[in-house]
Structure 1
Amino acid sequence: MKTRKATAVLATAVVLALGASACSGSKSDSGKGSGGGAKDAVADAALTSIVNKSDKKGGTASYELSDVPDSLDPGNTYYGWVQNFSRLYGRTLTSFKPAAGKEGLEVVPDLAESLGKPSPDAKTWTYKLRPGVKFEDGTPISSKDIKYAIERSNFAPEALSNGPTYFKAHLEGGDKYQGPYKDKSPEGIKSIETPDDQTIVFHLKDPFADFDYLATFSQTSPVPQKADKGADYVKHIVATGPYKFASYEDGKGATLERNPQWDPKTDPIRKALPDKISIKFKILQRTVDNNLLNDSLTVDAAGTGVAPETQPKVLDGKYKKQTDSPYAGALSYVGLNVHVKPFDNIHCRKAVQWGIDKVSVQQAQGGSPKGDVASTMLPPTVNGYAKFDLYPTQNSAGDIDKAKDELKQCGQPNGFETTLTARSDRPAEMAMATAVQASMKKIGINANIKTFPTGKYFTNFVGVPDYVHSHNLGMIMTAWGADWPTGFGFLDQIVNGSAIKPSGGNNVQELDDPQINKALNDAIANTDATARAKAWGDIDKLVLENASAVPLIYRKNLLFRPENAANVTVTQAYLGMYDYLLMSSSK
C-alpha cells in the first residue's frame, strides 16, 4: 500500500479466521490500560492490547491529516490510511479482524457470510453475501453492486487511476475488458458471475492462493451503478457501513454521521461507538502533533507518526507513556528507473547500492525509533521475509571504493549527474533525500533534489513513465507497505512488470524482468503455503540482484495516543497504524 497507505498496506503462515464472528477482542486484551495521560498508561501498550477499552457510545472521533487523500472513494484509493478509514463507511467482502496483536492479521468475513470457497486449483472463488445488508438509502445490496464496484475501480483508469490492479491482472479477460464507462453491455466482465443477488463468483486466469486477502480491499465495497459519477462519485459516496457522509469538501475534509440503514445484526466486526467522525485535510503536521498533545484531537489520520521535530518531546518525560512504536510493515527505499540513463546500466545501479550511507539516512528520518536499516525489500513483519544483505558495508555506512569500482564498470569513472525526487510536504523524506544526496556526492554522483507534493507524487510525476523519462528522474524516493501481509501482497505492485501504468504506478523503477514476473506468478499459484513463503524470499533476492531498488529503512511509526482516545490498538494489517474501526473518543 502507498504510505503517502499506501497504503499501505498487506495467505500463508497468518492464520485465517474461519468463524463468521469477529466482535471479540484479542486474547491479550486485559480491558485495562487507559488513554494517553492516565497514571497507568504504558508505552507500546497498544502493540499487544486494546488501550483505554470502552463500550461507551457517543461523542465525536476527530481526525486530521497534513496532506490530502488520493480519494476517499473506496474504488479510487491506494493510501493505506484510507483503506483503514474507509471501513467506517464502506463494507467489503472480507476484512481484517479488529483486534489487538496477531489477531488483527486474521481475515474474516464482512459482507460475505464466510471466507471464499476456492476450487481445488484456487482459480475459482465463490462468496455468499449476508442477507439484510443495505445501502444508506435502504436499497438492498446485491452481488451485482460488488461486481460493478470492481469493474469501475480496476478497468476505468481514465476516471479512476489511483487503486491497485490485481483484479484486472488476474481475472479471465481482464486484459480485454474496457470497463463500465466504455463497455455498456449489461453483463459486464464475464469472469465475475452473479448467478443470484447473494452470490458472486470470480473466475481467474491463474491460481491465486491469497484471494481472501484481495477481497479485503476497499475496491470490493459495493457501488450502485445509478449513483456512480466516475471521479466525482467521491462527492456523494453511498455508504454501506455504520457511517455516511454528512458533508464533504474536496481538499478540506468531511464529516460522517450514523447511517440509520446499517444493521449491527448483519455486521459482527463493527461496534460503531462514536456518533460522529470528523476529518480535516491539509493541517500542518506540527499543528496535528500539537493537537494530539493537548488532547483536542483523537488521531493523526496518516498513521505514520509524529514529525521529527515533535519526536524528542514525546520520547522524553510525561508523554513517553502515551507512545507506541510499531513496525509499519513498510519500507523506505530509492527506486532507480531502468529507463533513465545511466541507470539502464546495472553497474551504475550497483554504485548507488554500495555508496549509500544508510545510517545517515536512518538518523535523518528520526533515528531508531522511526525504523531500522534495511537490506531487503520485504520487511521483517511480512510473511516470506528472509534475512540477507547483498551489499554489506561497514556498519551500513557505504563503501566508497566498491561504489567507484562499479562506476568504472558502467563507463562513468568520474560519476554523473541525475535527479533525486522527494515529497515536499514530508519532512522526514526530505531529510532522508538530503542524506542520500550527501552519500552520492562522496562517490561522484551529483543528485539534484526535485520535490513534488504528496497528493500528486505518483499520479502526476514519479508514477508517470512519460514524465519520468522526459525529466530524467533517475532516483526516486518512495515508500511502500504490504497490500496484505504476505510476500506477494508486498512485492507484486512494486516489482512486477504488469504493475507499470501510464499514471499512478508504484513500480517506479519500471522493473519488468521476465524472471521476476514469472517467479511472482508461479508462487501465487502455488497452493502449498510453505513453498509460497520460501518463494517470496527468493524473489526478494532476485530484485536486489537487479539492483534497481535500494532498501533504506524498515519503517516504524512513532504514534501518539491522546487521553481522549479510546479502544486504541495497532494493526499490522494496515501498516502499523491504529485500527480506525475500533477507535472512539471520550469527548
Structure 2
Amino acid sequence: MLQMRVARVRRIALIGLAGALALSMSACAESKRDDAAGGGGKTGGTLVFGTASVPKLFDPLFNDEGETDRITRQMYDTLVAFKEGTSELTPGLAEKWTPSPDGKTWTFDLRKGVKFHDGTPFNAAAVCFNFDRWFNMAGAAAQSQMIYYGDVFEGFKKNEGDASGEPVYKSCEAKDENTAVLNLNKYKGAFPAAFGLGSFGMSSPDALKKYDADKVTQSGEAFSYSSYANEHPTGTGAFKFESYDKAAKTVTLVRNDDYWGEKAKLDKIVFKTISDENARKQELRAKTIDGYDLVSPQDYAALKNDGFTLSPRPPFNLLYLGINQKNNPALKDLKVRQALAYALDRETLVKTKMPEGATVAKEFQPDTLAGYAKDVQEYPHDVNKAKQLLAEAGQSNLTLNFYWPTEVTRPYMPNPQEIASALADNLKQAGITVNLVPRPWNGGYKDDVQKLGKHDLHIIGWNADYADAGNFLGTFFGRAKPEFGFDNPELFAQLSKADGTVDPAAHTAAYEQANRDIMSKYLPAVPILSSPPAYVTASNIKGMVASPLNNEHFNTVSKG
C-alpha cells in the first residue's frame, strides 16, 4: 500500500506539474499588437471561415460537437490549456496546478488581472461559481445535455433523469483572490488534462445569473436554451461574441482588446456554415471565404496545386459503427455483433474513401496512446464467417435500421453518405437487410442516436480531447448510454477502476485488458478507422497551427 501511494504521488506530480512549472506565463508577457507579435503577420481584417454545420449554442457546458467547439474555444479559456499543435499541457487561466498526494485535491494558482468580456473580474470565486454551477445543475433536460460533465464528473448533487453516477466533485474553496482549491471525492485519471476541456471554459458569474444560463427546456425531442447560451456568451477569451445571423448562417466574433494573453491580430472572425464540402471549396476559390475545415481527401492535390495551404492534422480520432442492443433483440447476441464486424470491409473503405495516413482501427483507441493492446481479437473482412455466425444465432433474415448524418462533415467521416452506403453494402453482402435512415446532424441525428436510441446501427466517431485512454474507452463505454442500449456494470466497473489507477504501468495494463475484453467479450460497437483530417486556407492566411485535438486558436492568425 505504501509503495502504491508513493507511485501515485510520483504520477500525480509528474502529470500535474509538467508544463506548469517551466511553462508558466504571466499576463505581463502579453504580445503587442504589431507586425512582430506572435512571429509576424499583419493586424486587422476579417477572416471568413467555412464550417460544416450550424452551431448548437454558445454555452460550452451544453456542447458536445466540434463545429460549436471551434467557435466557443475562441471566446472561453480553461484553467489548463494545450500547447499549440500538441496534446501537451500548458498554463491557461491557471498559471500552476498542484495536486494533493492522493489526487483528490487540486490547487490552482490563477492569473492576476484577467477580466471577463463583461468587465467583471476572473478570480477564485468565479472558478468556484463555475464548478458549483455544474455540480448543482437542476433538471433532467439540463443534465442530459451536459455530456462532457457526465463523462468526467459522473454525477450531480441531485441526479435527475438518466443521470445516476456518484459525483466526482465534492467542493470548491476560494482560498484567496487568486487561489482556488478543488476537492474531489475520488482520484480520476482524466485530471489534470480534463480541466482543459472546452466544455469547462470559465463563464462570467454575473452574466450566467443575468441571462438565466441554467434554463434548459425540452419539448418532445427538441431542447431550448437560455439567452446566455444563444445571445450573451461571456468568457475571458481572445474574441468576443458579436452576433449570430441564423438566416445567413454566420457567427461573428470580434477581437477582445483586453485579453490577458496574446491579443488577436484579426479584427473579426466570421464563421459561415456551408454544409456541402464542394460548396465550401467553390467559395474558397471565389474568395468569399478564407478557409474551411474537413477537406475531402479527393481534393487535396488540386487545392495544393491551386496555391492553397493544406494543413493535415495528426490522426487522433476514431470512427465506429454503433450497435444499439435495445430495439432489436437479435443485437443482444454477441455472435450477431461479431457477424456485423466480420461483414465490414474496412480495409477497402480506408483505401478508397479516406486520405493518405488513415488506418483501419482494431480497437477503440489509437495505437499511439498508452493502453493500446496489440493482442485484441480482430475481425478481418470475411463474409462467409459473418453468414456462419448469423446462421448459428438463428438470424439469417436480419433487418436493421442504419442511421447516418446529413448536413455535416466530421474529421473521422469526410463523407457520411459514402461511408454509410459502403458499410450498408457490406452488410447486405452478408445477407442482412439494411434500411438507411438519413437525419440532419444538428437537427435530429445526435438526439436520435445518442439520447433517444431510435436506431439499430449508426456511424459516429470521436475526436480526442486529451491524451488518455479513458478519453476514448471511458467516454464510449464508461456508463449506460441510449446509444448502445446496454447496461453492463462489470465493464463500467472495470473502466472506472482503470481510470482510478494512478501507477503508470498499472494504469496502462488496466486499459490494455479493457481493450481486450471490449473486443472479445462485449463488442458493443465496431471500430472502423482513424483519419488525419485537414483544413485549407488561402495563401495569405498565416499563423494557424494544426492541432491533433482539433484545438486551433485564431488569435495567432493574420490575414495578409
Taking structure 2 as the reference length, the TM-score comes to: 0.82
How far apart, CA to CA, are the structure 1 residues paired with 2:209 and 2:258? 19
Matches within 5 A, 1:12-51: 16-19=18-21, 21=23
The yes-or-no answer on 1:126 pairing with 2:122 is no
The yes-or-no answer on 1:92 pairing with 2:78 is yes
Report the equivalent of 1:67. Answer: 53
* Cα separation, partners in 2 of 1:453 and 1:489, compared to 1, 3 Å: same
How far apart, CA to CA, are the structure 1 residues paired with 2:419 and 2:376? 21
Deviates more, 1:451-460 or 1:330-339: 451-460
How far apart, CA to CA, are the structure 1 residues paired with 2:311 and 2:116? 36
Report the equivalent of 2:65. Answer: 79
Q: Which whole-Å deviations, capped at 9, do the CAs of 1:343-381 have from their partners, x for residues lacking one? A: 1111110110111111332245x2342722221111234
Instruction: Note if contact 1:14-1:105 (Cα within 8 Å) is conserved in structure 2.
Output: no
How far apart, CA to CA, are the structure 2 residues paired with 1:372 and 1:212? 29
Report the equivalent of 2:491. Answer: 516
**1:447 counterpart SS class:** strand
Matches within 5 A, 1:399-478: 399-412=382-395, 414-426=396-408, 428-457=415-444, 459-465=446-452, 467-468=453-454, 473-478=455-460
For residue 385 of structure 2, what is the amino acid of its counterpart?
Answer: K
Equivalent residue for 1:353, pick from 341, 345, 368: 341
Equivalent residue for 2:193, pick from 196, 207, 213: 213
Shift of 1:136: 1.9
Report the equivalent of 2:546. Answer: 570
The alignment yields a C-alpha RMSD, in angstroms, of 3.0
Shift of 1:582: 5.0
Report the equivalent of 2:217. Answer: none
Equivalent residue for 1:537, pick from 487, 491, 512: 512
* Cα separation, partners in 2 of 1:170 and 1:326, compared to 1, 3 Å: closer
For residue 563 of structure 1, what is the amino acid of its counterpart?
Answer: S
Q: Which whole-Å deviations, capped at 9, do the CAs of 1:19-64 have from their partners, x for residues lacking one? A: 364779xxxxxxxxxxxxxxxxxxxxxxxxxxx9534322222222
* Cα separation, partners in 2 of 1:89 and 1:280, compared to 1, 3 Å: same
Shift of 1:311: 4.5
* Cα separation, partners in 2 of 1:74 and 1:480, compared to 1, 3 Å: same
The yes-or-no answer on 1:331 pairing with 2:331 is no
Shift of 1:460: 2.5
Q: Which whole-Å deviations, capped at 9, do the CAs of 1:324-353 have from their partners, x for residues lacking one? A: 333331111101112232111111101101
The yes-or-no answer on 1:343 pairing with 2:318 is no
* Cα separation, partners in 2 of 1:282 and 1:92, compared to 1, 3 Å: same
**2:270 counterpart SS class:** strand
Shift of 1:522: 1.3
Instruction: Note if contact 1:89-1:244 (Cα within 8 Å) is conserved in structure 2.
Output: yes
The yes-or-no answer on 1:314 pairing with 2:310 is no
Q: Which whole-Å deviations, capped at 9, do the CAs of 1:244-277 have from their partners, x for residues lacking one? A: 1222234722211222433x3xx3xx34221211
For residue 335 of structure 1, what is the amino acid of its counterpart?
Answer: G
How far apart, CA to CA, are the structure 2 residues paired with 1:275 and 1:457? 35
* Cα separation, partners in 2 of 1:200 and 1:458, compared to 1, 3 Å: farther
How many residue pairs align between the two structures? 504
For residue 346 of structure 1, what is the amino acid of its counterpart?
Answer: L
For residue 497 of structure 2, what is the amino acid of its counterpart?
Answer: D
**1:332 counterpart SS class:** strand
Shift of 1:440: 0.7
**2:243 counterpart SS class:** strand
Matches within 5 A, 1:125-144: 125-144=106-125
Equivalent residue for 1:479, pick from 458, 461, 470: 461
* Cα separation, partners in 2 of 1:294 and 1:385, compared to 1, 3 Å: farther
Q: Which whole-Å deviations, capped at 9, do the CAs of 1:276-335 have from their partners, x for residues lacking one? A: 1111224532222233345543332xx4x21356346336x455x832333331111101
Equivalent residue for 1:276, pick from 260, 268, 275: 268
Equivalent residue for 1:258, pick from 250, 255, 258: 255
For residue 432 of structure 2, what is the amino acid of its counterpart?
Answer: I
* Cα separation, partners in 2 of 1:438 and 1:250, compared to 1, 3 Å: same
How far apart, CA to CA, are the structure 1 residues paired with 2:151 and 2:181? 15
Deviates more, 1:272-281 or 1:384-393: 384-393
**2:363 counterpart SS class:** coil
**1:540 counterpart SS class:** helix
Report the equivalent of 1:44. Answer: none
Instruction: Note if contact 2:25-2:91 (Cα within 8 Å) is conserved in structure 1.
Output: no
Shift of 1:509: 1.5
How far apart, CA to CA, are the structure 1 residues paired with 2:40 and 2:76? 23
Report the equivalent of 2:220. Answer: none
For residue 281 of structure 1, what is the amino acid of its counterpart?
Answer: T
The yes-or-no answer on 1:107 pairing with 2:93 is no
Shift of 1:464: 2.1
* Cα separation, partners in 2 of 1:283 and 1:338, compared to 1, 3 Å: closer
Q: Which 5+ residue runs of structure 1 have no aligned equivalent?
A: 1-10, 25-51, 180-188, 502-507
How far apart, CA to CA, are the structure 2 residues paired with 1:581 and 1:512? 41
For residue 369 of structure 2, what is the amino acid of its counterpart?
Answer: V
How far apart, CA to CA, are the structure 2 residues paired with 1:120 and 1:416? 54
How far apart, CA to CA, are the structure 1 residues paired with 2:17 and 2:182? 23
Instruction: Note if contact 2:324-2:484 (Cα within 8 Å) is conserved in structure 1.
Output: yes
How far apart, CA to CA, are the structure 2 residues paired with 1:254 and 1:127? 33
**2:331 counterpart SS class:** coil
**1:132 counterpart SS class:** coil
Identity %: 25
How far apart, CA to CA, are the structure 1 residues paired with 2:523 and 2:151? 28
How far apart, CA to CA, are the structure 1 residues paired with 2:433 and 2:15? 44
Q: Which whole-Å deviations, capped at 9, do the CAs of 1:506-529 have from their partners, x for residues lacking one? A: xx2234322321222112222212
Report the equivalent of 1:292. Answer: 284
How far apart, CA to CA, are the structure 2 residues paired with 1:556 and 1:439? 24
* Cα separation, partners in 2 of 1:91 and 1:481, compared to 1, 3 Å: same
Matches within 5 A, 1:140-219: 140-153=121-134, 155-156=137-138, 158-159=141-142, 161-166=144-149, 170=153, 174=156, 176=158, 191-218=171-198, 219=200
How far apart, CA to CA, are the structure 2 residues paired with 1:53 and 1:331? 34
Q: Which whole-Å deviations, capped at 9, do the CAs of 1:61-82 have from their partners, x for residues lacking one? A: 2222121122222222122344
Taking structure 1 as the reference length, the TM-score comes to: 0.78
For residue 358 of structure 1, what is the amino acid of its counterpart?
Answer: R
Between 1 and 2, higher relative CO (CA 8 Å, sep ≥ 6) is seen in: 1
Report the equivalent of 2:356. Answer: 369
